[in-house]
Amino acid sequence: MQKTFTIGDLARYAAVPVETIRYYEHERLLRKPARTHGNYRLYLEADRERLSFIRYCRSLAMTLDEIRQLLRLQDAPDDTCETVNVMLDAHIDQVAIRIGDLRRLKRQLQALRDRCGLARTAKNCGILSGLNAAATLPQPSANGGDRAASTAARSKAGKPRNLRWKSSPRQVRV
């Protein structure tokens, strides 16, 4: 007699809301489970393992698409695993780039922070005036749009780095 789990069991096991599990089912990361007579989902050990896998990959900041690929490979053990290598390499590169972005950002923020000494009001605020000064430095021409040879400050003002991991394709990628 195989052990079964309700969605609540699974959720507690993986420390996620039940909604997330339903979401993963909707997104086809998890299979549609059997149901009880009362229409409750009935999960097996394999489902539990699969959810753990997904959560761990999420903890590695992989997108659901990436995880889908990995799951597909797991379900096809005789396929080549070159895909995994390529994906992981790209992933590692992205993390490295992002680390660099954040370091530069931190330095910028710290420089800005250091401008605020004894000021008490907004009109004397070194940070606000610093933000204003930086915002006005890059005066691109009205016919802008060409990214060539832009200053770093202008580049930043015009293209905020997307700090959300693996943003949607519409978001600006660095």
Partner DNA sequence: TGCACACCCTGTAGTAACTTCAGGGTCAAG
Partner DNA sequence: CTTGACCCTGAAGTTACTACAGGGTGTGCA
Nearer to DNA among residue 18 and residue 125 (C-beta): 18
When asked if residue 46 is in the footprint of a copy of itself (CB under 8 A), the reply is no
Q: Residues 139 to 168: which contact DNA by CB under 7 A?
A: 160, 166-168
Which residues neighbour 148 within 8 Å (Cβ) at sequence distance 6 or greater? none
Choose from DNA, a copy of itself, none: what does 59 bind? Cβ within 5-8 Å by kind: a copy of itself
**Bridge partners for 91 per DSSP:** none
- At residue 81, the 3 state secondary structure works out as coil
- At residue 41, the 3 state secondary structure works out as strand
Write out the two tokens for 160: 């905020």
Write out the two tokens for 38: 């009362």
Q: Residues 38 to 97: which contact DNA by CB under 7 A?
A: 38-41, 58, 63-65
State which of residues 32, 37, 39, 145 lies at the interface with a copy of itself (CB under 8 A). 145
Q: How far is the CB of 30 from a copy of itself (least distance, A)?
A: 14
Beta strand 41-42 pairing with 34-35: antiparallel
| Interacting residues toward DNA by CB under 7 A | 6-9, 11, 16-20, 22-23, 36-41, 58, 63-65, 160, 166-172
